Chain A
């Protein structure tokens, strides 16, 4: 006769093998038989939490409400190099938008997409609520909703017969006294139910029970305060936790608080302090590199990414960022090496082949260029990626002088992504070469309205209007181009020429 395995042990085994659904099912059965089995209850909370767990450190996105209704800003004009909000105030060592394209916030595009790199601080409410906020690149209304609603709230969708734990009936004070149950319960409330208020109550009671000596509870309190937007309180909790126990995690949370308070220099100092205790810690080094990158200080960012690679030579983010930096500083052959390394590591997607194709083309390795793009086209997952690949093929076509192909490619890019401002701009230039001024004008206007942060459509519109004699439109367009890229020499020249023209009698 077969002796069945102890169900709790089996569940534990499933849990360790990350088969959470099975683990949760077995625990449910055990709990049906003996509703007061604390071990099974605790294991089930953990399994259910793990199913929806997302890394709290990495997920961070400022919502529209936090950015546009920000009342805590005192200094409207920050000193150079002390703020993340105005990327223009950095040291000015970054590449110009003529070489490296900019995102809407005025930062050069990065080699690795993170939640905070998708789109920066919008200038106006109008910009904040416009189209780019789609399912892929959405900016939530507040950070309290957004991603957490989409990823975290499992309770609404998965449990048709009602939630596993009814929070409103829970006696939090009772659970807070049981250290073996309270922690799993807290994580369940925080991650699974997303009920920050109850989680905060529980953490407050528990830390009181632990006579304010348990650093773990302080960190959880800090996390709750952070989610609620009480950054100063959360800073206090994290600081106090750090005094008790040095942990990498706590350093990361605290740095996150400082970044949200727009104090990048304090965050950098904190990371360096953390590195004294944990020398060579990859997450801390990455944090430093990211801050430097966001402040437009690409050279130091690259230095730190290199340090990351010394510790962990398979760090995808570091490789991608160094690669893109080499590409945009006119060394595509080195960028090619980095992207090839990513390929060797098993990263196999459309974006990588797209980058490889571009690097090959600019490093004059023509035999591999087009095959890379073909593979990229074969690997596309959605329309936006396809649009980007066609756009880049269009660039190659412009490079080899095949304007018919280029025209088709840019049009295809637009067919797949109707908001591709760069494609509109390039198409306008091609139309202008064909002598179709009205079309060209319409495309440039569309490009300018889709991406007001790009200087190219404004500048092109300015030269176009100048040529056909519409000096007033030319001047206003040149002014907008100057706003987007003040150092652009050609814009300055056209402005100078126009001003002279206007002043002369």
Chain B
């Protein structure tokens, strides 16, 4: 914790543009930028923060509303939220926005924080062949095994994929199939898709408080536009790949433009009149964040780059980032006419880019996973971030803050001006080279003679080691093995782990045994000889055994391990284990 004051010092220098309004490191808020919105839910002129909390990913999914620094309300969600938007659905007074939470194939609409409507995506076409097969199963014309075979065949060939039920059936063990078929055969087959992203589109007016349609992207590669009051599908467009992020601008009745980042790494731009995408941007890596500034699209890529494009898909610029992008958000201050992109990075920083210029950097105590900028409470320029560890950070842009357009990125790297510390050659060295130059022949002869002697000595020692198999690895062609031993424990009981590995390319080794040699007055072993299983090449086989130390005198000895082959008297390999001193006394 001693580093805390230091960090504050840094923060004061770097973030002089921002006021630290609130930081709760244990807010228990796990969410992404798509599930966070600011809205005046009660029409009292005070904006609340609405968050779709992902909880642990399997339970505790909540719709949370914050007011000021406190939690105002909490609704339980049935499934993981994939997107959350606030939108005005009618002209009634008071003009309070509704909240739409997308999860699974449903959109749950809340008004006044009460459930109001549930929209379900239209079911997809079912494969006719599959339908046929299940019909036969219902009339008990085929048994489960042939059903499985036929479904398998359909799965491989058909262009319409199988339903979830058939896929689940194909995963089952043969004995469970009968029960599964009996349970589900009476019910009709349905194929349902899920929502991947959600956004809003103004219906026919560009005002701030105009009625908006919902725009949703689905896993079945479609984009739907929904009517705000009746929740009927106004328009349907299809994409070549599943959408992941979406940005919408314009009005539905006049002209609009939907920019969709897709899972195949392309960005498609859809327009009002066409069912198919108008433009396509092919990226070199996956898009992580997508933000529109005016008429330009800014994309954060997995390759640690930020790229700018025109709305027709022409590339404008690329900036390299110091760390991977975690999330992106737009910072829009209409009162000052200022628009910029907020980029959350994995190195605990949030960068503010205006076009390709880095204008400001915010250091955060944790990695930021979601960013939202807008009016919160009664303050216009509020930046809300949640962190990977579940924290909530609220910062307010100072009214006096001046954000100049100059690039804050540093100049040439510091390393250029650091001189290498190369030690100087000493006089002694020069003297020695003189000696070398004068006595070159004698030195060379002496060295060569010593070298031959040493080669002989090494070869002798090597042969001796090989003959008695002293080395912990054997390089014989039939059993290339390697062993190393680890001792664990404080004593008097030790655990001996032998790691044995077959280093051959493809041949297994069999019929091996291990035996130990030790001082029986000092150690005892439960099994000093045992067989080891077949060794598959490339895998490490840890073999455990236990050793008891019998002495209390604080002395230790070597235990020798031999790997033996059936029918051979010489060991294949040997390892010497230096036993540690036993710290404990044996129990009687």
Contact partners of B304 in chain A: CB under 8 A: 499, 503
A275 at the interface (CB under 8 A from B): no
Flag B407-432 by CB within 8 Å of A: 1 or 0 each. Answer: 00000000000000001001011001
Interface of A is mostly: helix
Do A418 and B443 touch across chains, with their CB atoms under 8 A apart?
Answer: no
- Known pairs A331-B423, A363-B432. 8 more at Cβ < 8 A? A126-B488, A129-B488, A149-B554, A364-B436, A370-B451, A393-B454, A449-B484, A500-B303
Which residue of the partner chain B has the closest CB to A413?
A: B471
Flag A60-84 by CB within 8 Å of B: 1 or 0 each. Answer: 0000100000000011111100000
Contact partners of B439 in chain A: CB under 8 A: 367
**CA–CA, A286 to B160, complex, Å?**
81
B406 at the interface (CB under 8 A from A): no
**CA–CA, A319 to B436, complex, Å?**
26
Contact partners of B485 in chain A: CB under 8 A: 131, 418
A330 at the interface (CB under 8 A from B): yes
Do B581 and A135 touch across chains, with their CB atoms under 8 A apart?
Answer: yes
Contacting A374 at CB < 8 Å: which of B3, B435, B453?
A: B453
A sample of 29 cross-chain residue pairs with beta-carbon separation below 8 angstroms, ordered by A number, consists of A74-B1, A130-B486, A131-B485, A135-B581, A140-B583, A150-B554, A157-B553, A364-B432, A365-B432, A366-B447, A367-B447, A370-B451, A370-B453, A370-B454, A390-B461, A405-B454, A405-B458, A411-B462, A411-B465, A438-B537, A438-B538, A442-B503, A449-B484, A450-B484, A503-B285, A503-B301, A503-B303, A505-B284, A505-B285
Do A337 and B428 touch across chains, with their CB atoms under 8 A apart?
Answer: yes
A383 at the interface (CB under 8 A from B): yes
**CA–CA, A418 to B575, complex, Å?**
6
Contacting A446 at CB < 8 Å: which of B455, B461, B499?
A: B499
Q: How large is the interface on B (under 10, 10 to 19, 20 to 34, 35 or more residues)?
A: 35 or more
Assuming the contacts A130-B486, A370-B451, A409-B458, asked whether A442 and B501 have C-beta atoms less than 8 A apart, the reply is: yes
Do B454 and A505 touch across chains, with their CB atoms under 8 A apart?
Answer: no
Contact partners of A393 in chain B: CB under 8 A: 454, 458
Assuming the contacts A129-B489, A438-B503, asked whether A415 and B303 have C-beta atoms less than 8 A apart, the reply is: no
Interface of B is mostly: mixed
Contact partners of B238 in chain A: CB under 8 A: none
Which residue of the partner chain A has the closest CB to B435?
A: A365
Do A412 and B458 touch across chains, with their CB atoms under 8 A apart?
Answer: yes
**CA–CA, A319 to B429, complex, Å?**
19
Do A505 and B283 touch across chains, with their CB atoms under 8 A apart?
Answer: yes
Contact partners of B505 in chain A: CB under 8 A: 438
Contact partners of B553 in chain A: CB under 8 A: 156-157
B302 at the interface (CB under 8 A from A): yes
B203 at the interface (CB under 8 A from A): no
User: What 9 A-B pairs come out closest when comparing CB atoms?
Assistant: A370-B450, A134-B578, A367-B446, A503-B303, A366-B447, A75-B2, A415-B470, A367-B443, A141-B583
**CA–CA, A383 to B283, complex, Å?**
60
Contact partners of B429 in chain A: CB under 8 A: 331, 333, 363
A244 at the interface (CB under 8 A from B): no
Contact partners of B537 in chain A: CB under 8 A: 438
Flag A361-384 by CB within 8 Å of B: 1 or 0 each. Answer: 001111101110110010000010
Contact partners of B488 in chain A: CB under 8 A: 126, 129-131
Which residue of the partner chain A has the closest CB to B265?
A: A505
Do A414 and B504 touch across chains, with their CB atoms under 8 A apart?
Answer: no
A304 at the interface (CB under 8 A from B): no
Of the listed residues A136, A330, A366, A445, the one surrounded by the most CB atoms of chain B closer than 10 A to its CB is A366
Contact partners of A150 in chain B: CB under 8 A: 554, 581
**CA–CA, A337 to B540, complex, Å?**
47
